Amino acid sequence: MRPDLPPGIVVLPGTDVEGAWERFEMFEALHHGMRICNPMHGSDLDEVLGHLDPAAGDRMIDIACGHGELLIRAAERAPIEGVGVDLSPWVLARAAGEAASRVPDARLSWWLGDGKALPKEPWDVVTCLGASWIWNGSAGTARALAARSRPGAAVAIGDLILKQGADPAAIRQEYGAVLTQADYARLLAESGFDHLDCMVLPTEAFEAYDRRVAESAAEWAIRHPGPDADRYLEEQRTWAEDHRRDRQFLSWVVWVGRRAGTA
């Protein structure tokens, strides 16, 4: 059932490849039907790329790149030198295949490993859409991306914030402190980013994502019937319930900024 790891994929030091295949099979079962593994649509990614504006020769890194859609679209816009990092071999096998067919001449590489372990290099474009847990939340993510971007670099972060009008006190016990849009804007400014854009996705986009997750899990169970698929279906139902509750309090946002200073 597992694809082979395509030969060009770079395995970062210390990565337990076999363990990663096992650990991330469930994520793949719930997302294999999608190019974008979050509530965004292709047009949203294009809008984000419009702000990031990657140029010829830019070194761009997408941390937790999933199926590689952002980098592939970036490479369709400009001859960048791109790296997609993810801890799931499933998503990287798919990203490498998609890139080979859609942008065969692009200079894209796929690195398998923990985003947290990446060295602090000064990239021109740095993105992380939907994986802020890697650095234990929004503040850690902002710091991690600041440490991996050159002055003047373009940066995008996809994350959850407190929904407009939701009462922070009502959710503090269960969710801990959730940043409002204003808190997050302040955090980014303190981390050294000039604000370019904040895209708040509508609740319906979050709902549609959950429908896509349900379709993926159901299709996986048809293709690979057995106890694992049943477990993944159960997990998907739990996710759906959790997300139904989350949607009352949380919104999915993408921040785009520029690291202060000039290169």
Select from 40, 190, 27, 244 the least CA-distant residue to 127: 40
Question: Distance of alpha carbon 43 from its chain centroid, rounded?
Answer: 16
Interatomic CA distance for residues 7 and 9, integer angstroms? 6
Q: By CB under 6 A, is residue 36 in contact with ligand SAM?
A: yes
The window from 10-18, 35-43, 219-227, 230-238 that contacts ligand SAM (CB under 6 A) reads: 35-43
Q: Parallel, antiparallel, or unpaired for β 10-11 and 107-112?
A: parallel
The window from 112-120, 206-214, 233-241, 250-258 that contacts ligand SAM (CB under 6 A) reads: 112-120
Report residue 137: phi and psi, to 5°.
Answer: 120, -175
Select from 33, 67, 37, 26 the least CA-distant residue to 233: 26
Q: By CB under 6 A, is residue 115 in contact with ligand SAM?
A: yes
Report residue 107: phi and psi, to 5°.
Answer: -95, 75
Question: Distance of alpha carbon 148 from its chain centroid, rounded?
Answer: 16
The window from 34-42, 192-200, 226-234, 255-263 that contacts ligand SAM (CB under 6 A) reads: 34-42
Q: By CB under 6 A, is residue 91 in contact with ligand SAM?
A: yes
Interatomic CA distance for residues 234 and 217, integer angstroms? 9
Q: By CB under 6 A, is residue 30 in contact with ligand SAM?
A: no
Give the shortest CB-256-to-ligand SAM separation in angstroms: 14
Q: By CB under 6 A, is residue 27 in contact with ligand SAM?
A: yes
Site string for ligand SAM, 123-162 (x = CB under 6 A): ------xxx--x----------------------------
Q: By CB under 6 A, is residue 236 in contact with ligand SAM?
A: no
Look up tokens 């980014």; give the residue: 188
Q: By CB under 6 A, is residue 216 in contact with ligand SAM?
A: no
Site string for ligand SAM, 49-88 (x = CB under 6 A): ---------------xxx--x---------------xxxx
Whichever of 118 and 146 has its CB closer to ligand SAM, that residue is 118
Report residue 135: phi and psi, to 5°.
Answer: -110, 30
Instruction: Please report, as a single letter, which amino acid is at residue 125.
Output: V
Map residue 57 onto helix, strand or coil.
coil
Question: What residues make contact with ligand SAM under the rule CB under 6 A?
Answer: 24, 27, 36-38, 64-66, 69, 85-88, 91, 114-116, 129-131, 134
